[in-house]
Amino acid sequence: MPSTWAVLLAAGKGSRLAKAGIDTPKQFLSYRGAPLFWRSARVLAGLPELEGLVFVLPPDQGDGEDLIRKLEGEAPLGVAWRVTRGGARRQDSVAAGLAEVPPDCGRVLVHDSARPFLTPSLCASLLDALESADAAIPGLPVTDTIKVVEDGLAAETPDRSRLAAVQTPQAFRADVLRRGHETARAEDWDVTDDAMLVERLGGSVAVVPGDPGNIKITNPEDLRLLEDSVAPSPVPVTGFGYDVHKYGSGRPFILAGVHIQGAPEVVAHSDGDCLVHAVIDAILGCLGRGDIGQHFPDTSAEFDNVPSSVLLDQVLEMAREDGTEIVHLDCKVICQTPRIDPHSHLIRKSLARMLGMDETRVNLAATTEEGLGFTGEKRGLKCVAVCTALRPLA
């Protein structure tokens, strides 16, 4: 998999807020005890694929590295990071950030820190779209009628079914984005987002569904979005999950979607992902909603060989509808064969991505039972999971 870095733009002056008497640039407004841009940094750093992050700060910000070092001392990012200064235009700031990305980087996410409500799932969709495109951008349908205005008069009404309101982050093949910025400098292009560079190069730009909650803080009235509503403190809850699969002719051996070559096959109705099944049970335990068999019975043809990630998505949707926030997951895989340790890092990253969680909040361990029981006799495996969540008061 190509390496992935992100460029986080935090170099704007916030002129609209300044006109309203707010001197602090929006990206440095305090949000939950840290500058606003730090929330985007935390979400990006939690992506399993991300190896590093470049902060693009205003030229007059002072020692930006000291600021990032202080913030990271309180909440480590867990990825490499660098700091650079922005330019006069947005594209100049992106170019400055891109110059700090390692030359061998394969993919780059570019994000405006004024959109602090990005989600891991949106980032994952963008990176997945790069499998078949040079760039990927999130777009929302345009609901208002749009007019082309010339000299104060309506000149044209575009077909809004062909229009999309574009957000960030935007994802790019790094070589294409570099070539776009090099051409822009050579030919004096002026663009409003990096996807325009790819379009002018003749490259392909995929559009994935945007997120209505991924709102940009632009005007003074937008600041209310940063105010947490006063509500009763949520209640911490714990759920326990347990699942077993026996070895035999059936499904490939997978854990959190990671296929382990040379391992025994497992007998299962769905795809046989024992680890994800245990996680599902743990989450259902937090919700007080029974177990996996009640929601996805193995007697139903509907769930025959269905990816466990699909089942997990449905359970996560239950948690969202319930207002429950999953804050930590501790998992253990128990088997005599295959050896899990060589794959544990990848399994953990994959599971964190499935959950849309920071990898530091997902733990994975593996053990054997020293030849005892059915796992010790190499007749199967079992997985356990403990989920900690915050659930709203009834």
Q: Indicate if the pLDDT at residue 138 is higher than 70.
A: yes
**pLDDT number for residue 28:** 66
Whole-number percent of the chain with pLDDT over 90: 59
pTM (predicted TM-score): 0.59
**pLDDT number for residue 219:** 62
**pLDDT number for residue 229:** 42
Whole-number percent of the chain with pLDDT over 70: 89
Tens of pLDDT, residue by residue over 163-198, are 999 999 999 999 999 999 999 999 999 999 999 999
Output phi, psi for 195, to 5 deg. -60, -30
Partners of 57 in the beta sheet?
Answer: 85
**pLDDT number for residue 91:** 93
Q: Indicate if the pLDDT at residue 236 is higher than 70.
A: yes
Lowest mean pLDDT among 108-122, 166-180, 215-229: 215-229
CATH homologous superfamily of 4-226 equals Spore Coat Polysaccharide Biosynthesis Protein SpsA; Chain A (3.90.550.10)
Region 106-133 average pLDDT? 92
Q: Are 390 and 238 in contact (CB under 8 A)?
A: no
Q: What residue ranges do the domains of the chain occupy?
A: 4-226, 235-391
Q: Indicate if the pLDDT at residue 19 is higher than 60.
A: no
CA distance 89 to 271: 50
Query: What residue type is 187 in one-letter code?
Result: E
**pLDDT number for residue 67:** 85
Matching fold, domains 4-226 and 235-391? no
CA distance 292 to 311: 9
Across 291-392, where does the E strand assignment appear?
325-334, 362-367, 380-391
CATH code for the part of the protein at 235-391:
3.30.1330.50
Q: Which two tokens stand for residue 381?
A: 């495996």
Q: Where does the pLDDT of residue 306 fall: very low under 50, low under 70, confident under 90, or very high at 90 and above?
A: confident
Average pLDDT score over the chain? 88
- For 277, the enclosing helix (H) or strand (E) is helix 274-287
Q: Where does the pLDDT of residue 119 fall: very low under 50, low under 70, confident under 90, or very high at 90 and above?
A: confident
Q: Where does the pLDDT of residue 231 fall: very low under 50, low under 70, confident under 90, or very high at 90 and above?
A: very low
| C-alpha separations of 204 from 131, 180, 194, 201, 359 in Å | 11, 13, 13, 9, 31
